[in-house]
Amino acid sequence: MKELRDKCGVMAVYNSPRAAQDLYLGLHAQQHRGQESAGMLVSSGPGVNTLHRDQGLVTHVFSDETLERLAGHFGIAHVRYATAGCGGQKNIQPLVVTHRDEVIAIAHNGNITNAGRLKKEMEDDGSLFHTSSDTEVVLHRIVRGKHESPIEQIRTGLRDVEGAYSLVIKFENAIAGVRDPFGFRPLHLGKRDDAWFFASETCAFDIVGAEWVCEVEPGQGFLVSDQGLQPFALEQPATPRFCAFELVYFSRPDSCHGDSSIHAVRVEMGKALFEEHPAEADVVTAVPDSSNSAALGYAHASGIPLDIGLIRSHFSGRTFIAPHQALRDTRVRQKFNVIRDAVDGKRVVVVDDSVVRGTTSRKIIQLFRESGAREVHFRIASPMVQHPCFFGVDMPERGAFLANKVPDGMLADFLGVDSLGFLSREALKRIVGPDSCDACFTGNYPIRIDETPGQVIKRKEKPLGKFDYV
Ligand code: SF4
C-alpha cells in the first residue's frame, strides 16, 4: 500500500556541540515521514537563533554551507508532508514567533482536530495568524500565557487543544518534547553523553549515536535545560490510543515500539495473516518496502519459500496528475517491476501491508499476471481501511476507499486475484495492543471530530457499477 502519507517527523537536540549536524541526520533518518519540506532552527542562547527551511528533501534543503551557518548547541527540526491547500513556504516548520523579546519555535507531528474553532475564537480576540497551519494555533496558545516557566506555558496553552500532537518546542534556554493525552503519534527521548534528543522515531537516535531513554508517554512532556531534565504531565488525563497505522505502515522497521522493533511487530502480523488466511502456493513475495516484514512472517508461518518478486524503484520521481490511462499505468510501472524468474509459472502469495483505494494494488497484481504468475493470492496484513483519519494521516475521502466502492463479494474479482484475505481487526488489536487507535478500520474515533462539511461523505448504499476510476 503506497497511498497514505504521514504528515510529519520531528527532531530536537539540547546541549550538543554539533546540533545542526545532529538535527540534519535525524531528519534524514525520518525522511519517510515527510518529503515536501524540511526546516530547522538552531540557537546558542537568548537572541542568537538561525532558521533555515525550504521545500524539498532534507539533502536538497541543507547544504554543508547552510549547516555551517546554523550555529548553536540546541534546536528543533521538522520534515513535512502537506495536504493540498496547506503547502507553501509560510507553512514550513519550525514555526517561529518573537514574543516579549523571546524567540519561541515549534515543530509538530499530528493534527489538531479543533484548530478551526480555536483559531476563530482567537481571531475574534484579536490574534493575527500568518499561516494556514493548525500548528500556529498551538504556538500562539503556548506563547501568550503569562507564566514564569515554560512548563506552565505548555500546560496552560494545550489545555483546550484537541487531537494529535507530538511537539518539540524551543524556548530561549530550553527545549521541550510533549505528546497529546492519546499519544496518537510517537515521540521518544534519547541521550548521547550530555546531549538530549527528542525524535518521532528511534531510528533517528541510531544515526546520531544516541541511546534510547524512553518513550514520551501520552500526556507527558520533558523540558531540557541547564537545570537538567524535568518531566511534567499535561492537565488532561492520559487515554493512550497509539496509531495502529504507525506499526502497519508508517514507521521504519528498524525503529522501536515498546520493547519490540517495528519489524518484529510486522512479522507477527504476517504470521497471524497466514493463520487466518492460509494459501497453497509456491512462493511468498512482498510489495516492498513496508510489507517486507509481514511477508517474512507469512513465509515463516506457512513454510512457503520467500522470494523477491517485486522491485520498487526509489527514484521514480514525483507523482503527477496523469490525464490518460496509459500514463497512469506508467506511474505504477515507474515504481514497481516484477522479477519474472521468481514468479513465472508459480502460485504466488503477494503480501501487502494495507489497501486504501485499491487501484495501485490492482495494477501490481496485473504486473504479476503479465510476468507469468499462475495464481495470485493476495494477503493484506491489516483490516480494510474504511474511514478517514483526523489525527495526522492524509487519507482520501470516504467514498474513495476500496471498501466503500466495491462490495465484499466482488473484491477479489476487482483486484484480479485468485484469493484475498485481510488481517482481522481482532488480530490487529491483539498484536498492536488494546490501547491503540484503529479508527480508520473500525470508525471508532477516540475523540469527537470537528468535521468540515466537505469531509463528511456517506458510504454509498450501492456500489458503483463499473471500475473505471483512479
Ligand atoms: S485513524 Fe487510523 S491512521 Fe489515524 S490515528 Fe487512528 S489508526 Fe492511525
- Structure confidence by residue, pLDDT tens digits, 334-372: 889 999 999 999 999 999 999 999 989 999 999 999 999
Q: Is 432 in the pocket of ligand 1 (CB under 6 A)?
A: no
State which ligand 1 atom lies nearest to the alpha carbon of 4. 3
* Ligand 1 mean position, distance from CA 374 (Å): 36
* pLDDT recorded at residue 463: 29
In this prediction the pTM is 0.91
Q: Which of 179, 250, 389 to mutate to test the pocket of ligand 1 (most atoms within 8 A of CB)?
A: 389
Residue with the nearest Cα to atom 5 of ligand 1?
Answer: 243
Alpha-carbon distance 288 to 338, whole Å? 11
Domains (ranges, CATH) in the chain?
5-240 (3.60.20.10), 264-432 (3.40.50.2020)
Q: Which pLDDT tens digit goes with each residue over 409-419?
A: 999 999 999 99
User: For ligand 1, what atom is nearest to the CA of residue 387?
Assistant: 1
Respond yes or no: is residue 437 known to be catalytic.
Answer: no
* Ligand 1 atom, smallest distance to 436 CA: 7
Average pLDDT (304-325) is 72
* Confidence check: pLDDT of 460 > 90: no
How high is the pLDDT of residue 204? 98
- Please tell me which residue in 8, 243, 256, 389 is annotated as part of the active site: 8
Work out the percent of the chain whose per-residue pLDDT is above 90: 80
Ligand 1 atom nearest to CA at 445: 1
1 lines ligand 1 (CB under 6 A): no
Model pLDDT, residue 148: 77
CA of 239 to the centre of ligand 1 (A): 15
Q: Which residues pair with 177 in a beta bridge?
A: 168, 222
Which cell numbers in the block locate residue 220? 507527558
Task: Indicate if the pLDDT at residue 325 is higher than 90.
Answer: no
